[in-house]
Amino acid sequence: MTESMTLAGIASVVGGSVRGDEHAVIQGVATIGVAGQNELTWASAPQHRAMLAASGAGAVLVNDGFGETPMHAVVCEDVDAALVDVLSAFSTSTPGPAVGVHESAMISDSAKIGQNVAIGRRVIIDDHVVIGDNTVLHDGVFVGEGSRIGSDCRLWTYVVIREGCTLGDRVTIHSHTVVGADGFGYVTRAGVHRKIPHLGGVIIGNDVEIGASTCIDRSKTDHTIIGDGTKIDNQVQVAHNVQIGKGCIVCAQVGIAGSTKLGDYVVVGGQAGLKDNIEIGSGVMLAACACVPSSIKPGTKAAGSPAVEYRQFLRENASIRRLPDLVSRVNELSKRLKKLESAADD
């Protein structure tokens, strides 16, 4: 963390150059509309030009082709990537428990705890659990029997990792998420719903981040799998035996039904719903609120309910918007046809 940086220092962090006073001091980062004289803002879209004219920012982060600005500028190749570097430089240290075990934590004698692990208040670690080095378990975390958590992980308050689950290295899970709850499966006979035992587990790869209040269910057999580098937003439901590939983005309130498979680098927009036992190919992009009843080929962009190829979705929606006019024309033509038929009868 740093409390202030010169523009020259910021340019060094982002691999860019300064246009203006490289000794000007910046004490924080803010959006165009609220940034003050000692703050840096950023601009990448054409509409930002007019906004910059009214901004009180002391400096702006822009790309090579943005052009002149009314304040000092740090010019870089990729504004979004550079902004991540700048925010990281200004970020405060993440709060959490100190290295060691809080006196209120309950840890099984058979658990294996790595080096430099921080375990907060009222954490419960069950039998035969393995915790890797430098991992942080915030207050109220529960780790069930036989589960394994890798190195450099961070589990925020009241995360639940049920029995028999495996987390890779550098996994972050936010508050109130449950990994490894039973899948939703029943066999109905004579009006009675018999619960299907779920004997499998959950495997989460390296560098995965999972948002708050998300549920990733354990499998009936085998494992529910989340691939390396995948990022899952808040309030997402991942059902039993689902397999999600590497580098996927799953936005808020998505529901993925049982045994569905996602390839690598799939993007699923918010509130989309995916049917069970289908396959979504690598590189697929699903728009927000898409309802996906069947498998989709790799590289497809899809939207709608039911989801169709994106250009088809746009054509269908354009047609729907014309429906009121078309109904009026059909009614008018119907009246004219009746008059013509009447005249013919006469």
pLDDT tens sequence across 189-226: 999 999 999 999 999 999 999 999 999 999 999 999 99
Whether residue 158 lies inside any domain: the answer is: yes
Please check whether residues 149 and 261 belong to one and the same domain. yes
Q: Which of 65, 90, 115 is the last residue of a domain?
A: 90
Please check whether residues 189 and 302 belong to one and the same domain. yes
Residue 286's CATH number: 2.160.10.10
The region of weakest confidence among 88-97, 102-111, 129-138, 261-270 is: 88-97
Percent of the chain with pLDDT over 90: 82
Whether residue 116 lies inside any domain: the answer is: yes
Please check whether residues 191 and 264 belong to one and the same domain. yes
State residue 92's pLDDT score: 77
Residue 28's CATH number: 3.40.1390.10
State residue 336's pLDDT score: 86
* Res. 297: pLDDT tops 90: yes
Confidence grade of residue 317 (pLDDT, cut at 50, 70, 90): confident
* Res. 269: pLDDT tops 90: yes
Whether residue 337 lies inside any domain: the answer is: no
Average pLDDT, the chain: 94
Whether residue 279 lies inside any domain: the answer is: yes
State residue 346's pLDDT score: 64
Taking the complete model, does pTM exceed 0.75, yes or no?
A: yes
Domain count, the chain: 2
Whether residue 95 lies inside any domain: the answer is: no
Please check whether residues 186 and 261 belong to one and the same domain. yes
Q: Of 167 and 66, which is predicted with more confidence?
A: 167
Please check whether residues 186 and 228 belong to one and the same domain. yes
Residues 237-256 have a mean pLDDT of 98
Intra-chain end-to-end CA distance of the chain, in Å: 92
Q: Which of 34, 59, 90 is the last residue of a domain?
A: 90
Residues 270-275 have a mean pLDDT of 98
Whether residue 26 lies inside any domain: the answer is: yes
Please check whether residues 227 and 292 belong to one and the same domain. yes
Expressed as residue numbers, the domain containing 190 is: 100-310
Cβ atoms 96, 156 nearer than 8 A: no
Please check whether residues 112 and 219 belong to one and the same domain. yes
Of the candidates 146, 143, 149, 151, which has an alpha carbon nearest to the alpha carbon of residue 123?
Answer: 143
Confidence grade of residue 135 (pLDDT, cut at 50, 70, 90): very high
Please check whether residues 209 and 261 belong to one and the same domain. yes
Q: Is 346 exposed, middle or buried (0-12, 13-18, 19+ CB in 10 A)?
A: exposed
Confidence grade of residue 48 (pLDDT, cut at 50, 70, 90): confident
Whether residue 165 lies inside any domain: the answer is: yes
Q: Of 258 and 346, which is predicted with more confidence?
A: 258
Q: Which of 43, 69, 90 is the last residue of a domain?
A: 90
State residue 338's pLDDT score: 84
* Res. 1: pLDDT tops 60: no
Confidence grade of residue 337 (pLDDT, cut at 50, 70, 90): confident
Which region holds residue 283: left if phi is over 0, alpha if psi is between -120 and 50, else beta?
Answer: left
Residues 58-87 have a mean pLDDT of 93
Please check whether residues 122 and 48 belong to one and the same domain. no
Please check whether residues 74 and 158 belong to one and the same domain. no
Of the candidates 70, 61, 49, 71, which has an alpha carbon nearest to the alpha carbon of residue 11?
Answer: 61
Q: What is the longest distance spanned by two Cα atoms in the chain?
A: 101
Residues 232-259 have a mean pLDDT of 98
* Res. 331: pLDDT tops 70: yes
Residues 13-20 have a mean pLDDT of 94
Please check whether residues 159 and 58 belong to one and the same domain. no
Residues 6 or more apart whose Cβ sits within 8 Å of residue 5: 13, 25, 26, 89, 90
Residue appearing with tokens 């998300």: 214
pLDDT tens sequence across 139-162: 999 999 999 999 999 999 999 999
Confidence grade of residue 329 (pLDDT, cut at 50, 70, 90): confident
Please check whether residues 78 and 109 belong to one and the same domain. no
Cβ atoms 181, 240 nearer than 8 A: no
Q: Which of the residues are catalytic?
A: 240
Whether residue 33 lies inside any domain: the answer is: yes
